[in-house]
Structure 1
Amino acid sequence: MTTKPISSLSTGFPLMLALLVIAVIVWSGINPAFPQVWLAEIIPVLLLLLPLLVTYRRFPFSHTAYSLMSVWLILHTIGAHYTFANVPFDWFNQLIDAERNHFDRFAHFAIGFYAFPIAEFLSRKGYCPPWLAALFGLTTIMAVAAGYEIIEWWYAVLAGGDAGIEFLGSQGDIWDAQKDMLADTLGALTSLAAFAILKPYRNPTPIKP
């Protein structure tokens, strides 16, 4: 199967997003609040960003998918710099009259956006029909959300002290893990609503087998 070269028009937007994310990562690594927490938080960012960069020419996602994925990469990187409980987000917390910092809820909601590219990949590759791809995207996000809460608990126990508390980010809420998983799920449902409307599996962008 032959493929057409990816035009500069199609590469410009993903490249701009990649440079923006990289710039935020560099900024985040300059004098972070807790270097140990920053390192632990930045690892998942790199584990998602690097494969996207390496596989871009083999499978370019839609611009919508790249936009959605970049939201979490940026939010999580900002949280890594300040720690999620201490991100300057007072304007929103005061708006809803909340005592806790809700920046982490936005980041969890944004990780749900990855249901969109998961569904896009499966449907554009022809591995399953779009409805099943969407269902797989939803359940994948829910599973990852639960797994990440376990990792947070594990790291907090091992690190201990202030670093463990800041990485956990529960801010005294005993239901923090459950609310985080709900935010992940709601973000996934939101992105899948966009998937159903935009139908990116009809994207004519050529991909290599």
Structure 2
Amino acid sequence: MIKGNSTMIHLSLLLVITAIFIWSVIKPYGYLAWAAEILPAIIGLIIVIATYNKFRLTTLSYIIIAILVIIMFVGGHYTYSRVPLFNWIKDDFDLNRNHYDRLGHLLKGLFAIVIREILLRKTPLTKGPWLITIITSISLAIAALYEIIEWLSLKITKGRKVAKDFLGMQGDIWDAQWDMSLALIGSLLALLTLSKLHNRLLRKKY
């Protein structure tokens, strides 16, 4: 019964993601920038769907994946530096930039829980300081890899507009450092606040 309910939740998440994907592809700010922004999400979804029956994650992990995919679809539609709600916040509070990308990188720290699940279920690692250290290291490595990909896209395209939209620095020379720092903070917060719930779900067999 529990697994049946979980499957319905997982299917509902997939339907929501599909609906937002369809919305995202309709008249985005630019199709090349859109494709660049959503490609990691699409690859991740393909992997998650392909391995669903062989390696089913907890519902918490699937919710986190859904949140991250939606963030990327929204960012792809508008580009991260032009999301309307955050433009309004920028103007209303006299901020120097659109902070949607900052929020996105902070929330990407939630992926630490997915990493935690994979390590606990597929490696000899057990709960403790080493597990936390390895999770945060992997989270930082993923964040750094993303920044390297953004930098390479700018170099390869010789600074074309689509690459600048993908990079989304908004004039901040420390943008990459901010993004990696926020991913680290998000990972630590996720581990501090969600690990107990995650343990309960793991004991219930996902």
Q: TM-score over 0.5 for the alignment?
A: yes
Q: Is 2:180 aligned against 1:155?
A: no
Query: 1:190 Cα deviation (Å)?
Result: 1.2
Corresponding residue for 1:146?
144
Unaligned runs of 5+ in 2: none
1:133 alignment partner in structure 2:
131
Contact 1:123 1:201 in 2 (8 A): no
Q: CA deviation at 1:197?
A: 2.6
Q: What is the aligned counterpart of 1:107 among 104, 109, 125? A: 104
Q: 1:95 to 1:134 in 2, by over 3 A?
A: farther
- SS of the residue aligned with 2:57? coil
Query: Are the counterparts in 1 of residues 58 and 201 from structure 2 also a CA contact under 8 Å?
Result: no
- How far, CA to CA, are the matches of 1:14 and 1:202 in structure 2? 15
- Closer, same or farther: CA 134–12 of 1 in aligned 2, 3 Å: farther
Distance between the aligned counterparts of 1:200 and 1:18, measured in 2? 24
SS in 2 for 1:130: coil
Structure 2 distance, partners of 1:59, 1:6, is 17
The aligned residue for residue 117 of structure 2 is 120
Matching residue's letter, 2:51: T
Cα 1:126–1:149 change in 2 (3 A) is closer
Structure 1: state its 5+ residue gaps.
none
Higher deviation after alignment, 91-100 or 114-123: 91-100
Q: CA deviation at 1:64?
A: 1.7
Counterpart secondary structure, 2:161: helix
What TM-score does the superposition give when structure 2 sets the normalisation length?
Answer: 0.89
Deviation at 1:70, TM superposition (A): 1.5
CA RMSD, aligned part only? 2.0
| Aligned residues of 1:93 and 1:99 also touching (Cα < 8 A) | yes
Which residues of 2 match residues 74-113 of structure 1 at below 5 A? 74-88=70-84, 89-94=86-91, 96-113=93-110
Bigger CA drift: 47-56 or 120-129? 120-129
Distance 1:58 1:201, change over 3 A: farther
In structure 2, distance between residues paired with 1:41 and 1:129 = 35
- 1:148-193 alpha-carbon deviations (Å, 9 max, x no partner): 1111011122233211211110000011110011111111111111
TM-score, structure 1 as length reference: 0.88
Q: Displacement, 1:102?
A: 0.2
> Which residue matches 2:180?
181
What is the rounded CA distance, in whole Å, between the counterparts of 2:131 and 2:120 in structure 1? Answer: 6
The 3 A distance-change label for structure 1 pair 199 and 29 is closer
SS at match of 2:27: coil
- How far apart are 1:126 and its partner, in Å? 5.3
- The residue aligned with 1:18 is 14
AA in 1 matched with 2:192: A
Q: Which has the higher helix share?
A: 2
